[in-house]
Structure 1
Amino acid sequence: MAQREELTRFLKAARGRLAPTDVGLPAGERRRTRGLRREEVATLAGMSVTWYTWFEQGREVQLSAAMIERLGKALRLEPQEREFLFALAQHRPPPLTGRADEAVRPSTQQLMDSLSIPALVIVEDWTVVGWNALVTQLFRDYAPLPREERNLFRILMLNERYRTDPERYREMARRLVARFKWDYSRTAQPQVFETLIEEMKTSSDLFREYWEAAEIRSHFEDVNSATLPDVGEIAFHHTSYAIEEVPGQRLILFAPADPASAEKLRRLAAEMA
């Protein structure tokens, strides 16, 4: 009930700060109170006046994500306000809009550079856009690669280095595809994914098998490893975290999976420093 009351306050305040001329409507006669009328908001959002009125009043009506998007545009909501509206109306984040910002914030790069573990940043279609020196040393140097060759999903699914253990590779592929399907379901630009999906259907039998399966994953954690001359194998447990300041970007951290790996990584980091 409290959230419904907050939704009412939020919508009233949002339309109250807009004048008709702000949204391309004629000024009309002088109004007793500043702001748009409910019927004007409904018209701008392509909704019935009754439906919008009930929604603003906090009644138990359900709007689709598309209707909420139109409402947010009609009210000229900022990105954070859009997220707030979705949270109040649907109790979930909004769909991602457009291609995510691929510029890594200086604060994010500084964080990665300060870590003694590998770290990288990917955007929603799994393209790597940021990394630290340990990633370059342990996995690959992304710097000289064009964008289309920095897709982490394609690399993990097709690179021969991950296929040395068939059972391990099969399990990894199952998890990867299940998470990739989840990301595909949330994107506002499916065409960004569909080119890669068609390529993978042609290139990978395992992808085709798991793409047709029902499994999905809203998170992805796993163990992988890297082997270096004079260092040996280092096992990592990796997890990903959303970067709040840039919707669509995720930070992936690779923590050593056991004490022996931690010691090898510590020595490597010390040598690099």
Structure 2
Amino acid sequence: MTTMTQDAVLALGEEDARPAEIRRHELAGFLRSRRERITPEDVGLPRGARRRTPGLRREEVAHLSAVGVTWYTWLEQARDIQVSAQVLDALARTLRLDTSERAHLFALAGAIDPSPASSCARLTPELRLMLDKLEPMPACVQNSRYDILAYNSTYRLLFCDLDEIPPEDRNWMLLAFTHEQWRSTIVNLDEVERIMAAKFRAGMAEHLAEPTWKSVLKRLLDESAEFREVWERHEVVQSVPSKVKHFINPLVGPIAVVHTDLWLGRDGGARMVTYTPVDDATRERLDRLRELALSSNS
């Protein structure tokens, strides 16, 4: 089969060069470019004396990704074939794609990335530094699914010792509905849960087919009668203005803070969540909470 370059596809004119066809050719070129930049030595393969192909051969990428050689060849020939998220994930790992390249791969293939990190900005050293500099104000980074991806020392002890919770369970929805110590710190818990469930339903509308979203929903339905009750109301809330929130911290007592979301991308997914004290009493208690967090790490 004779393949076309992207320029050739564009030259066909708007009536022939459909967006899907253009994406297939862009995907083919992208795969070739990433295949050619990886040496056999990078993946533990012998170079051999007669190798003329820059980087890896197609059959080597197919073998390392556990896909058929013919099928992978068709991908690089821009044929109209279906590709699963699992195969794209394998190719991304074989080709050693970074976060931006992985997102580009899935976008070109018209597939949804099941990786939990796919909806969150990369946690750069600069972003982590910002979390630390906000001390003693509690702050964390969440994605659109409410996974807690990073946090500062004050936030760590705001509800309970977050370090003691397994990373896969560090999700605000799961904790608010299933973790008794976390739940016990939240004033007006019923109203908070109702709003969160409504926001989660609104956010999930764009992610209905994503395994990670469905996994969180299944856990909530299986583990929380309170969640099942509010979920059945089918309430939807897109966003809630910054407002004062009240917590009863088990170490320092009542805390009153203003919740603010600082969005980290244009898609409205990843955000830095900050809690600003509303009075001197809360400010002093947050200072004390940070001291306790730092001393417990020393």
Q: TM-score range by the shorter chain?
A: 0.5 to 0.7
Deviations 1:36-84 (A, max 9, x none): 3323322332222332122112233221011111222333334443233
SS in 1 for 2:79: coil
**RMSD over aligned Cα, in angstroms?**
5.2
Unaligned runs of 5+ in 2: 1-18, 248-254, 288-298
CA distance in 2, matches of 1:156, 1:240: 21
Structure 2 residue 219 is the aligned partner of structure 1 residue 197:
yes
What is the aligned counterpart of 1:34 among 51, 54, 61? 54
TM-score with structure 1 length normalisation?
0.59
8 Å contact kept, 2:197–2:230: yes
CA distance in 1, matches of 2:76, 2:66: 15
What corresponds to 2:194 in structure 1?
171
CA distance in 2, matches of 1:90, 1:183: 15
Unaligned runs of 5+ in 1: 256-263
Specify the code of the residue in structure 2 equivalent to 1:30: R
8 Å contact kept, 1:120–1:251: yes
Structure 2 residue 93 is the aligned partner of structure 1 residue 73:
yes
What corresponds to 1:130 in structure 2?
151
Q: Matched residues, percent identical? A: 29
Structure 2 residue 104 is the aligned partner of structure 1 residue 84:
yes
What corresponds to 2:36 in structure 1?
16
What is the aligned counterpart of 1:251 among 265, 268, 272? 272
SS in 2 for 1:187: helix
Specify the code of the residue in structure 1 equivalent to 2:116: L
Query: How big is the shift at 1:205?
Result: 2.3
8 Å contact kept, 2:131–2:139: no
8 Å contact kept, 2:138–2:158: no
8 Å contact kept, 2:28–2:76: yes
The 1:225–1:269 alpha-carbon spacing in structure 2 relative to 1, beyond 3 Å, is closer
Specify the code of the residue in structure 2 equivalent to 1:148: I
Provide the aligned length of Structure 1 versus Structure 2: 246
Deviations 1:220-244 (A, max 9, x none): 646653359xxxx978564463579
8 Å contact kept, 1:243–1:251: no
Superposed counterparts of 1:72-221, under 5 Å: 72-90=92-110, 93=113, 95-96=115-116, 105=125, 107-110=127-130, 113=133, 119-122=139-142, 126-127=147-148, 129-131=150-152, 141=158, 146-148=163-165, 152-153=172-173, 156-157=176-177, 159-160=183-184, 162=186, 164=188, 168-169=191-192, 171-175=194-198, 178=201, 185-187=210-212, 197=219, 201-202=222-223, 204-210=224-230, 221=240
CA distance in 2, matches of 1:25, 1:213: 57
TM-score with structure 2 length normalisation?
0.55
Deviations 1:150-192 (A, max 9, x none): 76335544635656485x346325326537976994539x6xx
Specify the code of the residue in structure 2 equivalent to 1:84: H
Query: How big is the shift at 1:111?
Result: 6.1
The 1:156–1:19 alpha-carbon spacing in structure 2 relative to 1, beyond 3 Å, is closer
CA distance in 2, matches of 1:110, 1:4: 40
What is the aligned counterpart of 1:5 among 25, 28, 40? 25
